Structure 1
Amino acid sequence: MKDNTSYYMESNYTNREKLFTHFKSNLTTKKLLFDNKSYRYFITSIILLMLAVLFIISAASLSWLNKPSYVLVLLFVSGISLFIISLALTTFSVKESNKYIAERYPFYKNLFNDKTTKALNEEVLTALRCDLIYESISTWSIDLKNLEELIDYYELKGQELKNTKWYPITLWALIIFPVYAEFIATLYNPTNTFLEKVLLLLALLLGGTLLFWYINKFRLILNAVLLFEADKYKELARVLRIIKTFP
């Protein structure tokens, strides 16, 4: 027969894995804040934004290869158009999400901001996660006195995963940056026409702006690919810290 210490350790391990699996699988942004319509808008906007960046970069590359001006103009205009459509779809996605939240979670009305069209209602998302995790803690008889232990575990686990997943990307960036800088330098050709020089400058400026905006606004894409699990551990730790303040 196992002694009480062994049982306690196994119970703690089982509970923290169960709690994390529940959080990762059932309390995602998609499941809590999106319906099918708003999520389709969201995914489509991301795809179009990626295409916009690709078209702008292609325009800059073709300029370096001295391709005809009309090809550059076509790619540049197409990239701008896709970017504008992407912004519109993002707004539609947030509006549809707001409508869905208002109908499904009327009891969070004091936290709900139905005017925003730029970002999802993070306050509602956090409140939902806190309440649902607190409910799970009660259901699974997890001792609230062990919250600090759980928080430390999830934060440590998240940091370990982040370091492991992000290291190759950091190394790749250090290697590719000098190559990219050299490529940008070679794009400028004194023999280019004035129109080509202007388009090249606009393409580089807009391409950089779009890329920066894309990474900041849609960092969830990178997280989903590289840091999804690490961020989930850290987010669960944050939720538990909030729960710890509950009376």
Structure 2
Amino acid sequence: MTDLLTALLLGIIEGLTEFLPISSTGHLLIAQHWLGARSDLFNICIQAGAILAITLVYRERIWSLATGWRQPAERDYLLKILGAFAVTAAVGLPVRLLGWELPETVTPIAWALVIGGVWMLVAERLSERGPPSSQVTWAIVVAVGLAQVLAGVFPGTSRSAAAIFMAMLLGLNRKPAAAEFVFLVGIPTMFAASGYALLETVLEGEAGTEDWAGLAVAFVAATITGFATVRWLLTYISSHRFTPFAWYRIGLGALLLLGLPAGG
């Protein structure tokens, strides 16, 4: 398989899995066991391609926030998006600099998939006990910010799943509203992560070794497939549960632990 075709496939995988609560990082790392490992810059930047898709999907909402910040409700929501991003940056940057993360190998990813799937089943049931709400509280802001850090430390957790279900457990239990807030927080989070990874690559003198053509192909593929996926997901969760995604995680994690596709 050529390098560009491999990059295209990885970009499609990223776009399909970034917003579904099944862990894009986990799927990319599993895929790279067969297709060859890629740099951290590659993996993070194609995630930014998927986040660009969110920017396009929510372009009207973003424009409303940008132009309507003088209105109390819009300003409050915008400040909460920035607050969640600030929590992620304040906690996540030291964690990254200290190297606190599990190894990106199959076994920890498999356990994260299984545990995350069980967590989703329980969390969705618990969240439904409260009255329906679309209100984003400051407790939810902090929890979403910390959930994003948690997903970075434990590959296979899923940033979207960790953040959405923390928000739902704390009262934001209208799924489309929880997804919107988490996805909008992901825009500055992932663009900042991509910028940081790019800066590291340049400072370490590794820019010349990066496959920039492959990265560009994967970025575009992730953007296109991410756009289609998130549009479908928002329609799906408006009237369906997250249960199929939870069982998919549990099943995939169990297969990996049994060593069927990739070994232990």
Smaller-chain TM-score range? under 0.3
Q: Identify, as 1 or 2, the structure richer in helix.
A: 1
Larger radius of gyration: 1
Q: Scaled by the length of structure 1, what TM-score is found?
A: 0.27
Q: Scaled by the length of structure 2, what TM-score is found?
A: 0.26
